Amino acid sequence: MSTESARQSEQMGCYALDFLEIGQAQVAVVGGKGAHLGELSRIEGVHVPPGFCVTTAAFQRVMTEAPSIEVMLDRLSHLAPDDREAIRVLSAEIRGTVEAVAIPRDLVEAITRPIARLGERAAYAVRSSATAEDLPNASFAGQQDTYLNVIGCGSILRHVSLCWASLFTERAVIYRLRNGFDHRKVNMAVVVQQMVFPQASGVLFTADPVTGHRRTATVEACYGLGEALVSGLVNADTWKVRNGQLIDATVATKTLAMHASAAGGVQRHAVPPELQSRPTLADAQVLELVQLGQRIEMHFGSPQDIEWCLAGDAFHIVQSRPITTLFPIPAARDDALHVYVSVGHQQMMTDPMRPLGISVRQLSNAGMLEAGSRMFVDVTRALASRAGRAGLMDMLGKSDPLIGDALQTLIDRDFIPLSDAPAGAAPAANTPSPIEADPAVVDALIAQNEASIAAAKRDIMGKSGSALFEFILDDAKEMNRLAFDPQSLRVLMTGIEATWWLNDHLQDWLGEKNVADVLTRSVPGNVTSEMGLSLMDVADIIRRYPAVVGFLQQVDTDDFLDALPGLAGGREAHDALLAWLDTYGMRCVGEIDITYPRWSERPSMMLPLLLGNIRNVAAGAAARRFQQGLQEAREKEQEVLQRLRALPNGERKAEETKRMIDRLRTFIGYREYPKYAMTVRYFVYKQALMAEADRMVQAGVLREREDIFYLRFHELHDVTRGGRVDDELITQRKGAFQAAHALTPPRVLTSEGECVAGAYRSDDLPEGALVGLAVSSGTVEGRARVIFDMKQADLEPGDILITRFTDPSWTPLFVAIKGLVTEVGGLMTHGAVIAREYGLPAVVGVEHATRLICDGQRIRVHGTDGYVEILP
C-alpha cells in the first residue's frame, strides 16, 4: 500500500491530531471527514464538538503488522465489481485480519493521550475517515463504519480497529472498484469526537439535491440522533428555503427516535403521541440553520451536505461534505439569469467529453459552453424575444418534447421576461426560406465540402508545432463557413419542414399519423444509412471465406488486417474492409469528441457489427432492403395522392403534397451529411495532433500521447511553444473526466443550477406503458436487448434494441433489429432518421428505459403513438 501519507504524518511526529491542528489540505493525513471537521472548526460562529483524528500513519503502522494483507489486496484488485460472492468472502477475510492485529503500545498511548485531555468518562463518536471520502468528485458516504456513544479508552481503541477494518467492507470495496479507486492508494484515518446528545438532528443541503437549484436549501430533521434518519428508520420533517424565505414545509409523523444508551451505544425510543406530528424545528430555527449553512458553503466554496445537531438552543455541526451529485453550471460573464440547453441530447451523445474534444468542437462553434464535461448552448436571448422564443419552441419543441416542455415551464414562470432585445443566434429564430426540389443543389454542397476537405488533408501535411495549430485555427473557420452556409441551412430546413408539413397536414386531411415515416424510406444521399448498407456488402464478400470468418471471430487486437492476406480469401477481405474504413473509418461512438477512438484507429471495434451481419443477414440483403424501402415509399406516395384527390379541393391538396414529398425525398438525406463532413475533418485534425503528441513524448515533454486529450486546444498549443506540461493538471482532469461519468446531464439547465425536467403530455395510454416520442411508425413485438456498449452487442434477427442513445456509429446494428427504443433522442436526431429510412418502429426519449426494461423481456413498441409496453 502507498506510504506517502504515512511519511507525511510521521514527519509531523504524531499519530493523532486535534481538530484545531487540521486543515482541509490534509486529506492524505486525516482523510476526507477529518479534514473537513478540522476546517469546520476554524470557521467563526460554527460550533463543532471537540475531537481528534487518528492519522493514516497509525493505519499504515497497523497494516505492517499483518503482511498477509498484501497478498489478499492483490487478489481483491483483480475481482470484477459484480463478483459479489468472491468480494464478500475476501473482504471478510481482510477485515478479520485487520481486527485481529494488536495495536502497538506507542500507538495506544498516542490515541489515549487526547482522550485523557478531552475526558475519559465522556462519550464519543468513532467514525471512519478514508482518504477517498468526502471529496469534491466522490463522497463515499456510508461506505465505511461509524460508532456512536462509545465510552472508555478500551472501547474506543476497539472501535478504532473496527473503523480501520471497515475500509474493506463489501460495499466499500465494490464502490472503489466501480469508481476506479486503487485499494492500495486509499488509507484510513479515524475521527474520535465528543458526543452531542441532541433533541433534534438532521441534514442540511445548501443546494437542492434533487433539482440542483443552488439558491434552494433543504433541511431534514428528526428527534434525537440523526442515525435514525440516515438509516431510513424514520420519515423526516422537511423544509425548503429559497433566498431566505420558507417556500415549503412537510411535517412527518415521527414514531421512533434514537437516543444514547447509558451503557454505551444507541437505542430506539418511541416518540410520545403528542410530539409525533409536531415540527422538530421552529421556522426561525430552520432559517437560522440555513444561514449557518450558507456561511459554511461560502467557506468551502461549493454547496454542502451538512450533518447537524440541536442541543438546547445551539446548533452543532458534526460533518460537512460537498454535494457530489449536482450538475455543474456553465460559466457566465454576468450575474443575470440564463437558460442552457444540452447539445448532447441533440447530438445523441450524452457521455462526457474530454477537454481537447470540447475545445476543438468550440473552434467551429464558439457559442457552445462547457459544464460537467458536456456542452450546452445559451438560449437566454432567444427566450427573451417574441420571435426568438417562437422559433426556439417550434424547433426544439417538435424535435424533443421533453426539452420543449422544460422550456415551457420556465416561460410559464416568467423566468426570462420578454424584452425588446434582438433574438440572437437562436435555432429557427430566422428560418431560411424553403427551396424547390433539385438534386443538383445537394450535389453542389457535397462537392464543395469534399473539395475543402481534400485541400485540408493536403495542406496539413508536414505541419508541426505552432504552424500546425495556426493551420487548424484557420481551417476551423472554413469548416464553420461550410457548416453555416445559407444554402446548406436552407436545404436542411426545407427537408425538416417538409417532414412536419406532411405529418401535420396528412393527419388532418387523412387521419393518418406520421405518414412521412414511410415516405422517407430509402431516400438518396443519406451517408449514414449508406454506411450500414455498405457494411452488409462487405459481409457478403467475407462470408464466402470460412477461414477469414473463423479468424475474425478470434481477433482481439487491432493489427488483424495485416494478417488477412495470408488466409484463403484474405486479400479480398482485406481490400473490402480497408475500402470501407477509408470511407467510414473516421466514425465511432461519441464521434463529436475527437479524443474517442475511431474505427480506423481501432478496427477491431467494428468487427462485432460485421460478424453480426455475416451471422444474421442473408447475402444481397443490402440491395434488397434499399429497393424494398424505395418501393414502399413510392407506393405510399401514390396511395396518399390518390386518397387526397378524392377529398374536397383534392387536386390542390394533392399538388401541395406532391411538392412537399419531392422536397422531402430530395433534401432529407442531406440531414446526415454536415455531421459526416465535420467528422471527416476532425479526423484530419486528430491524426496531425497525435503525430505532434508522439513528437512530444519522444522529447520527454509528455508521458503518454493520450495526455493531450486532457488539455484544451490553446493549452496544447502553449505546450508545443513552451516545451513544458503541467502533469498535475492532466492528472486532475483525468479524475474529473472519470467522475463526470456519474453525472446525468439535464436537457435544460438554468444559471441557478436547476435541472428543469420536462414531461410528455400523453393521454389514453395502457397502464404501465413507458412513454416517449414517436419517431418511426409501426408496431412491433420482440425480445428486448438492453445494450450499453456496441462492442458487446449480440443481436439476433427480430430483436428490439434498447439503449441510452444511438449516434451514427450504431447504424450498422439497425440492419439486424426490428425495433428501437432509446432514452435520448428527438424527431430529427440520427437514430430517428435512420430508423425511419430502414422502416424500424422506434420510440426515443423514453426516460430510464435501460433500467425499466430488462434484457430478454418481451416488449411491444408502438412507433406511431410513442410508447412501449412490457409484455407478460
For the annotated catalytic residues, the residue numbers are: 830
Cα dihedral angle (36, 42, 44, 48), rounded to 10 degrees?
60
Amino acid at position 54, single letter: V
**Site of grid cell 505541419:** 463
- For residue 647, give Cα distances in angstroms to 462, 500, 848: 66, 21, 44
Q: For residue 281, how many C-alpha atoms fall within 13 Å in the half-sphere facing its CB?
A: 33
- Whole-angstrom Cα distance, residue 777 to residue 513? 8
Alpha-helix residue ranges (DSSP H) falling in 384-436:
386-399, 401-413
C-alpha neighbours within 13 Å on the C-beta side of residue 673 = 24
Distance, in Å, from the CA atom of 218 to the CA atom of 209, rounded to the nearest integer, reads: 8
Residues in Cβ contact with 742 at an 8 Å cutoff, skipping those fewer than 6 apart: 138, 179, 324, 325
When computed from its CA atoms, the radius of gyration of the chain, rounded to whole angstroms, is 31
DSSP symbols for 305-339:
EEEEEEETTEEEEEEEEE-TTPPP----SSSS--E
**Which residues have C-beta within 8 Å of that of residue 298, sequence separation ≥ 6?**
none
Single out the residue of 154, 17, 170, 188 nearest to residue 86, CA to CA. 170
Question: 844 near 851, Cβ under 8 Å?
Answer: no
* Cα separations in angstroms, 553 against 340, 615, 811: 45, 11, 21
Looking at this protein, which amino acid is placed at residue 558?
D
**3-state secondary structure at position 269:** strand
DSSP 748-779: EEETT--EEPP-----SPPTTPEE-EEEE--E
- Angle, to 10 degrees, between the axis of helix 355-364 and the axis of helix 713-722? 110
Instruction: Give CA torsion, residues 502, 508, 514, 515, to 10 deg.
Output: -60
Residues 406 and 756: beta-carbon distance below 8 Å = yes
Alpha-carbon distance of 531 to 539, in angstroms, equals 13
Separation of CA 415 from chain center? 26
Contacts of 501 (CB under 8 A, 6+ apart): 660
Question: What distance, in Å, lies between the first and last C-alpha atoms of the chain?
Answer: 51
Answer yes or no: are the C-beta atoms of 317 and 307 closer than 8 Å. yes
Nine cell digits for residue 514: 406520421
SS3 18: strand
Provide the 10 A C-beta neighbour count for residue 789: 10
- The bridge status of strand 216-223 relative to strand 237-242 is antiparallel
Burial class (CB in 10 A: 0-12, 13-18, 19+), 334: exposed
Other Cβ atoms closer than 10 A to 290: 21
